[in-house]
Amino acid sequence: MKPGAQPNAPGLRRDALRERFALFGLSLPALLLVTVIMIVPIGWLFALSFVADDGSLGLVHYHRLIAQPAYGRIFLATFEISAMTTVICVVLGYPLAYLLSQLPRPLANLCMIGVLMPFWTSILVRTYAWLVLLQRQGLVNTIGIKFGLWQEPLGLVYNLNGTLIGMVHIMLPFLVLPLYGSMRAIDRDYLRAAANLGASPIRAFWLVFFPLSGPGLLAGATIVFILCLGFYVTPAVLGGGKVIMVANAVANDIELFFNWGATSALGVVLLLLTILTLALASRLVRLDSLAGGHRP
């Protein structure tokens, strides 16, 4: 043994490694729970989606998704609705996050309560509230007609309009919170420098601030889009049966036909689309920043 080396170095190393694995073992109960309750059953459905109704293996259920134009329309509608919701959220959420990020902290925190309140209110409660607000004799139509903005009650609910309003309302905090966090982190000296060098406010915003807020915006928009793809409750209630997104189609298929293979195929495609979107987004933006906005 060389002088100065630990007398029992291999033993200590073994102990250290053993301890690290023991610590790692602390995560096993959670892992077991997620595996048994979620991963194995989803894997099971995945396998079922390749079993035809007569028990043979094949892509029958996937062929059906392609052959029946109804499914194509549902996927297209899901994409359109998710994209529209994301765009509206960006248009409304970006200016709000921008302003909040410039207000003094106490005032910004006060305004944040407005953003967090819906976040903490049940989705069903909010969906119900929109039903009340948007119906033909609802508050929105009453006010609109009283002020002469429109003459006839508008059909704001039980259609695409209602669905979009409800979805934007649910998703807006998911955009504003991460965006606000990333905007707060932008060094204001860059803007001072731009102004100092003669940039007009608008030029300084577009050339300096906006690009710096890009990653936060992209992360927020991605999370909004992905969560929209799987929406079920809002289209089911505020869409009044006229708006069918993939999740609604999954639920209808199970309730009406009880065909696990066909329904699973639909669910698997939805999951793949979600993963694909996530993979595309992760090439543009660091994925852990997606979760970064949860703690304001």
Q: Write out the binding residues for other proteins, residues 157-216 only, by CB under 8 A.
A: 169, 172-173, 188-189, 191-192, 194-195, 199, 201-202, 204-205, 209
Q: Which is nearer to other proteins, 71 or 232 (CB)?
A: 232
3-state secondary structure of 199: coil
Instruction: Report the nearest approach of other proteins to the CB of residue 109 (Å).
Output: 9
Q: Near other proteins by CB under 8 A, which window of 6-14, 52-60, 65-73, 137-145?
A: 137-145
Q: Which is nearer to other proteins, 9 or 33 (CB)?
A: 33
Query: Can you tell me the distance from the alpha carbon of 73 to that of 15, in angstroms, rounded to the nearest whole number?
Result: 60
Q: Which is nearer to other proteins, 1 or 113 (CB)?
A: 113
Instruction: Report the nearest approach of other proteins to the CB of residue 171 (Å).
Output: 11
State yes or no: residue 13 binds other proteins (CB under 8 A): no
Query: Can you tell me the distance from the alpha carbon of 64 to that of 233, in angstroms, rounded to the nearest whole number?
Result: 26
Q: x/- site string to other proteins, residues 233 to 252, per CB under 8 A?
A: x--xx--------xx--xx-
- By CB under 8 A, the residues from 60 to 99 that bind other proteins are 92-93, 95-96, 98-99
Query: Can you tell me the distance from the alpha carbon of 1 to that of 7, in angstroms, rounded to the nearest whole number?
Result: 8
Query: Running DSSP on this structure, what letter comes out for residue 99?
Result: H
Query: Can you tell me the distance from the alpha carbon of 294 to that of 175, in angstroms, rounded to the nearest whole number?
Result: 10
- 85, 167 in Cβ contact below 8 A? yes
In this structure, what are the phi and psi dihedrals at residue 257, rounded to the nearest 5 degrees? Answer: -110, -20
3-state secondary structure of 51: strand
Give the residue, chosen from 229, 243, 281, 285, that forms a contact with other proteins under the rule CB under 8 A: 229
Instruction: Report the nearest approach of other proteins to the CB of residue 224 (Å).
Output: 13
Instruction: Report the nearest approach of other proteins to the CB of residue 9 (Å).
Output: 19
Number of residues that bind other proteins (CB under 8 A): 94
Structure tokens at 185: 């982190």
Query: Running DSSP on this structure, what letter comes out for residue 244?
Result: -
Distances (CA, A) of 182 to 168, 219, 280: 21, 10, 21
Q: Which is nearer to other proteins, 63 or 192 (CB)?
A: 192
Q: Give the ranges where the chain is alpha helix by DSSP (H).
A: 9-25, 28-34, 40-48, 60-67, 69-102, 105-120, 123-134, 139-146, 160-184, 189-196, 201-204, 210-229, 233-238, 246-256, 260-284
* The residue type at 138: G
Q: Which is nearer to other proteins, 79 or 98 (CB)?
A: 98
Q: Which is nearer to other proteins, 60 or 97 (CB)?
A: 97
Q: Which is nearer to other proteins, 44 or 150 (CB)?
A: 44
- By CB under 8 A, the residues from 20 to 59 that bind other proteins are 20-21, 23-27, 29-31, 33-42, 44-45
- By CB under 8 A, the residues from 97 to 136 that bind other proteins are 98-100, 102, 111, 114-118, 120-133, 135
Q: Which is nearer to other proteins, 60 or 265 (CB)?
A: 265
